[in-house]
Structure 1
C-alpha cells in the first residue's frame, strides 16, 4: 500500500438555504444548481488561499449538512421527496462532479436523495465525489429522528444494497474515507463499524449549534477520532437562511481533528474556510501499526459484545415496510411515535 503525501483538507463552512417552501421540482433543482455554482466559487478561492498559506495542495473539501436545501421542516415526507430530494443520476450530482473535477479535489457533502426502489420517501445521503467526477461513496444516514433511514426498510434495503451499501468505505488515493452524518457522530457504533471496515478519514457534514461551551458533538468528534485512530473533518453550516429560525442558530466550530483526538483547526462563526489542516495518512497508518496502550483500535475485543447486542433490540427494523414488503410513506409524526413506543417498551422490560 502506497501512503499518500500529506495534503490539506478544508471543512468549508457555508450558509444553508431552505427550500421547503417550494412546490415545483424544476424551481427547486434550479436553486440547488445555483447553490452548487456559488459553492464552487467559494471553494476555488478558499483552496487557492490554503495551498499558498500552508504549502500542501487541497485534496479534500467537506461541505455542511444539507447545504443546498436545509431540512424539510414544514412539508410532508412525500412532498419533500417529490420536490427537493435529488436523483442519483440527476443534474445535481453531475454539477458536483464537475466541481470536483475542475478543482481536483475529493468533494464530500450531504443531500436528500431518492432511491427508485423506495418510492415516496427519501434518504439523507452523505457523498464523496472524486476528482474524476464519479461518486465514489454514498452513505445513507442510519439514525434520524425525523426522516426515513435504511433501517426503517431494512429487509428490502439489505437485499438490494448489501452491507457494503450500509457501511461503505471508499479506498481512494488520499486514504480510506467513510462518512458520518450530522448527529450520528454521537453514536460510537457507526464510526466504529466504518473503522472496522478500514476507514481512516471520517467526513462529517453537520448543521449544529455553535457554542463557546463544549457541545456534545464537539466532544464526540474528538472521541470518535481518538478511539478509532482516524481523522475527522467536520463541516458545520454558517447558519440556515430562509427559515423563521434566527440565522446563526446553527453556526460555527467546523473543525479538523487528527487521529490522536487533537483539534488541528477550528472555525469561528460565519462563512469561512479557516477550518483547514494538513492530513498525514502515513503517520496515521504508522500509529495504527504500533503496539501500545493508545492503539485502541487494535485492542478491541469485538466478540465480547456480540451476545449483548444480538439479544437487545431497541429501535426495530422495517417500520416503513408493510407485510408485503411495500414502502409505507410516513407522516411526520411517525418517527416521534416510534420513539415513544420504544421508550414505553424498554420501561416495561425494566431496561430504563
Structure 2
C-alpha cells in the first residue's frame, strides 16, 4: 500500500458541541493545508462534560449530531478520510455510546467503533472516574480496510489492553489508533510508554490525537498528541497541552519490515497457566485473554 500523510488534531473541547464543531473545521483545514489525507481528532471531540444532566441536554442521536454532520461535510469538502476519535451519541436503547466515526472522501461513514473498555479508576490525588455509570461499552473491535492501509480503531483507555491491538495487527492492521482524553496524572506517568509499546509489540504505526489542557468542565487532560513508527520512534508529537495539528508521513511497508525483523505475531503460541503452591498442589487454568 502507498505512503500517505496523517494528521492528529489536539483539541481542548469545551461543553458546547456547536463551538467545538466550529473549531474542528478550522483544525481540519489546517491539517489539509499541511498535506494530510487522513485526519484524526481526539476522544470526545464533541464535548467534554462531567455533569450528566448537562451532557444529556446536548446529547443527540447519530443522525442529528452536529459533530457527525460537520465531519461528513468536512471529509467531502476536503476529499479526505476523517476519523472522529469519538463523541457521545444517544443510542436507540436510551444508553450513551462513546463512539468513533471514520468518514470517507465522499463524506459517508465507512465504519463506527464504540469504546470497549470503560475508564473506571481511582487515582492517587483523589481523582475518580466511572465511565461505566454513563456509557455503554462496545463489544466489537474494528479494522477498516482503507486504500492506503488497514487501520485499527480504539479509544483512550483501550490502549491499556494490548490484546485488542494484537488482534487488529493479526488481522492485518499496519496502523493502530488510540485517540484520547488522558488525564494529566496518568498521561505524565504512562502516555508515551503505552503508545510506543503498542507500536513496538505489533510492528505498527500508532496515531493518537489527544485532548489537552484545563477544560470548561474542570478536568485537565495531558495533550501530547503523538504519531509513533513501528520500530518505536516518535515521528511527531505535540510537546504540550495546547491545541495543535501534527503531521507525519506513514509508509505501511515499514510495518511489514518491522514484522519481518521481529516476527512475534507469527511466533506467538497458545499456552495454559499453572498455579503452583509450595505444598505441591497445582491448578491449571486457561490463559487470560
TM-score surpassing 0.5?
yes
CA distance, structure 1, for counterparts of residue 168 and residue 63 of structure 2: 26
For residues 289-339 of structure 1, give each alpha carbon's deviation from its aligned partner in whole angstroms, at most 9, with x where no partner exists: x2x4x22222222x32699885769xxxxxxxxxxxxxxxxxxxxxxxxxx
1:277 deviates by 1.0
CA contact (8 A) 2:212 2:224 kept: no
TM-score w.r.t. length of structure 2: 0.81
For structure 2, the residue ranges without an aligned partner over 5 or more in a row are 121-130, 275-283
1:278 deviates by 0.7
For structure 1, the residue ranges without an aligned partner over 5 or more in a row are 19-30, 51-56, 155-165, 314-352
CA contact (8 A) 1:233 1:257 kept: yes
CA contact (8 A) 2:65 2:89 kept: no
1:91 deviates by 4.4
3-state SS of paired residue (2:52): coil
Q: After superposition, where does 1:108-119 map in structure 2 within 5 Å?
A: 108-109=83-84, 110-116=86-92, 119=93
Aligned CA-pair RMSD:
2.7
CA contact (8 A) 1:226 1:260 kept: yes
Q: After superposition, where does 1:226-265 map in structure 2 within 5 Å?
A: 226-245=200-219, 249-265=220-236
TM-score w.r.t. length of structure 1: 0.68
3-state SS of paired residue (1:207): coil
* Equivalent residue, structure 1, for 2:126: none
* Equivalent residue, structure 2, for 1:272: 244
Hey, which of these two has a bigger chunk of strand by percent?
A: 2
* Equivalent residue, structure 2, for 1:100: 75
CA contact (8 A) 2:188 2:222 kept: no
CA distance, structure 2, for counterparts of residue 312 and residue 8 of structure 1: 37
Go from structure 1 to structure 2 and tell me whether the alpha carbon gap of 1:33 and 1:309 turns closer, same or farther (over 3 Å shift). Answer: farther
Correspondence for 2:170 among 190, 193, 196: 196
Correspondence for 2:97 among 101, 120, 123: 123
Hey, which of these two has a bigger chunk of helix by percent?
A: 1
3-state SS of paired residue (2:271): helix
CA distance, structure 2, for counterparts of residue 255 and residue 131 of structure 1: 24
3-state SS of paired residue (2:63): coil
The answer on 1:149 being equivalent to 2:149 is: no
3-state SS of paired residue (1:123): strand
Following TM superposition, the consecutive aligned residue runs of length 4 or more in structure 1 with deviations greater than 4 angstroms are 305-313
For residues 126-158 of structure 1, give each alpha carbon's deviation from its aligned partner in whole angstroms, at most 9, with x where no partner exists: 22111121221211111112233346xx6xxxx
* Equivalent residue, structure 1, for 2:61: 87
3-state SS of paired residue (2:17): helix
CA contact (8 A) 2:10 2:243 kept: yes
The answer on 1:75 being equivalent to 2:47 is: no
CA contact (8 A) 1:207 1:250 kept: yes
Go from structure 1 to structure 2 and tell me whether the alpha carbon gap of 1:204 and 1:14 turns closer, same or farther (over 3 Å shift). Answer: same
* Equivalent residue, structure 2, for 1:32: 17
CA contact (8 A) 1:126 1:205 kept: no
